[in-house]
């Protein structure tokens, strides 16, 4: 399996995914909104928004093992 890199993160931008982290935890149903680069610290992170656009989080790209894309037809809209 390939590592989760910058090109892979770019392909998931704007999509709802489950993020599987290297420590074994899973962040469920978040939308990847943008990729942030910190040239001073030489780190790349992914900004993700939870459902309802309430919580914004930043996760270092090196901490993500892989992402699982969700089927939008199975997610119920409670609007």
- Whether residue 37 is contained in a domain is answered as no
- Whether residue 66 is contained in a domain is answered as no
- Whether residue 50 is contained in a domain is answered as no
Structure confidence at residue 77 (pLDDT) = 59
pLDDT tens-digit map of 51-78: 776 788 999 999 999 999 987 776 555 5
Structure confidence at residue 76 (pLDDT) = 59
Q: Does the pLDDT at position 1 exceed 60?
A: no
> Strand, helix or coil at 6?
helix
- Whether residue 11 is contained in a domain is answered as yes
How much is the pTM?
A: 0.81
The parent domain of residue 21 ranges over 1-30
Number of domains in the chain: 1
Q: How far apart are CA 4 and CA 50, in angstroms?
A: 20
């Amino acid at each position: 399996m390939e590592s989760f890199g910058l090109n892979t993160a770019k392909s998931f931008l704007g999509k709802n995914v489950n993020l599987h982290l290297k420590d074994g935890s899973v962040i469920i149903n978040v939308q990847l909104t943008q990729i942030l680069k910190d040239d001073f610290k030489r780190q790349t992170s992914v900004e993700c928004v939870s459902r309802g656009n309430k919580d914004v989080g930043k996760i270092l790209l090196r901490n993500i093992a892989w992402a699982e894309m969700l089927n939008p037809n199975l997610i119920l809209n409670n609007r």
